[in-house]
Amino acid sequence: MTQDGKLVLAGAPIGQAGDVSPRLRQALESADVIAAEDTRRLRRLAHDIGAEISGRVVSYYDANEAGRAQELVETLKEGRTVVVITDAGMPGVSDPGYRLTHLAVEAGVTVTALPGPSAVTTALAISGLPSDRFCFEGFPPRKGGERARRLGALATEERTMVFFEAPHRLAGSLAAMAAAFGDDRPAAVCRELTKTYEEVRRGGLAELAAWAEAGVKGEITVVVAGHTAEAGGQDIEALVAEVDRRAEAGTQRKQAVADVAKEAGIPKRELYDAVHRRSPTP
């Protein structure tokens, strides 16, 4: 049975307070409880948009999400309205929100959303890359080995991919993407979306990785084109045969895979997997 309480997931501006909708302003003013990722940012936003908050404000961020979510569900069961708002974008999308939403649904509480700007769809729209089919991959793993494995698994993903990344890890992640997807795979790095210093850099992954080495600041969203079956214009069986030929001629097989993949314009991991499947001694 549905309870009288209501959970409202509120999309926050990703850079411009002017993007706030009248509905969000009204929700902030009427909520019984506002669970904010950063209470100071919430107060600043409320000031900027002229909203007067009368409800209770509590912190709700990664470190306390698990425990606080259960407390908020009890509040919802009492028939109160709880608004969840993060620093930017939609709660639950690489931000706190999922656990509370899951618990609220299980408890039969009404869950709704106040949609707002999204870095994911904004970057996708202005990237210039195909947007009819895409997937959101969040932040790549921080550790190099795990990141390489995750990206390797995406080497043949045909949909356009959208990632978030921290500025100090951007160059490393772009280099890892180049290794997994190919140096020339088209991509776009979108920085400080909707803000004063918004910037979009487009190019191949290797080119973008070299650019990022000098240092990049701000909020980063990376959009990468999906794999195409025509990459390199060559049949995978022919490429495997070329690897075998070079290996028989004395080139180390690992180096042969790297060289042939680069020449064909396909991800090294894709060719390695094909060699491993078809060759008795990969």
pLDDT of residue 40: 96
- In angstroms, the CA 203 to CA 95 distance is 29
- Whether residues 194 and 269 share a domain: the answer is no
Long-range contacts of 217-220 (CB under 8 A, 24+ apart): 217/167, 217/191, 218/167, 218/191, 218/192, 219/14, 219/15, 219/88, 219/119, 219/191, 219/192, 219/193, 219/195, 220/164, 220/165, 220/166, 220/167, 220/170, 220/189, 220/190, 220/191
CA–CA distance from 59 to each of 67, 75, 99 (Å)? 11, 15, 15
- Whether residues 238 and 220 share a domain: the answer is no
- Whether residues 124 and 186 share a domain: the answer is yes
End position of a domain, from candidates 224, 246, 263 = 224
Q: Let me know if residue 163 belongs to a domain.
A: yes
Q: Let me know if residue 72 belongs to a domain.
A: yes
DSSP annotation of 143: S
pLDDT band at 217 (very low <50, low <70, confident <90, very high): very high
- Whether residues 21 and 113 share a domain: the answer is yes
- Whether residues 218 and 235 share a domain: the answer is no
Range of 65's domain?
6-117
Residue type, 48: D
Average pLDDT over residues 202-218: 96
Looking at per-residue pLDDT, the higher value among 243 and 33 belongs to 33
Whether 176 has a pLDDT exceeding 60, the answer reads yes
DSSP annotation of 252: -
End position of a domain, from candidates 117, 146, 166 = 117
State the chain's mean pLDDT as an integer: 91
pLDDT band at 72 (very low <50, low <70, confident <90, very high): very high
User: Above pLDDT 90, what percent of the chain?
Assistant: 74
Q: To the nearest 5 percent, what fractions of the chain are helix, strand and coil?
A: 45, 20, 35
Average pLDDT over residues 153-181: 94
Number of domains present in the structure of the chain: 3
- Whether residues 21 and 106 share a domain: the answer is yes
Average pLDDT over residues 91-100: 92
Q: Let me know if residue 1 belongs to a domain.
A: no
Whose CA is closest to 219, among 162, 172, 161, 166? 166
Cβ atoms of 32 and 82 within 8 Å: the answer is yes
pLDDT of residue 3: 55
Indicate the SS3 state at residue 149: helix
End position of a domain, from candidates 85, 117, 149 = 117
- Whether residues 256 and 216 share a domain: the answer is no
- Whether residues 69 and 172 share a domain: the answer is no
Q: Let me know if residue 220 belongs to a domain.
A: yes
Whether 241 has a pLDDT exceeding 90, the answer reads no
Whose CA is closest to 180, among 220, 209, 221, 138? 209
Question: Residue 271: left if φ>0, alpha if ψ -120 to 50, beta else—which one?
Answer: alpha
Whether 153 has a pLDDT exceeding 70, the answer reads yes
Query: In this structure, is the dihedral angle defined by the CA atoms of residues 265, 270, 276 and 277, taken in order, positive or negative?
Result: negative
Q: Let me know if residue 153 belongs to a domain.
A: yes
What are the strands of the beta sheet with 134-138, ordered from one edge? 134-138, 160-165, 220-224, 186-191, 199-204
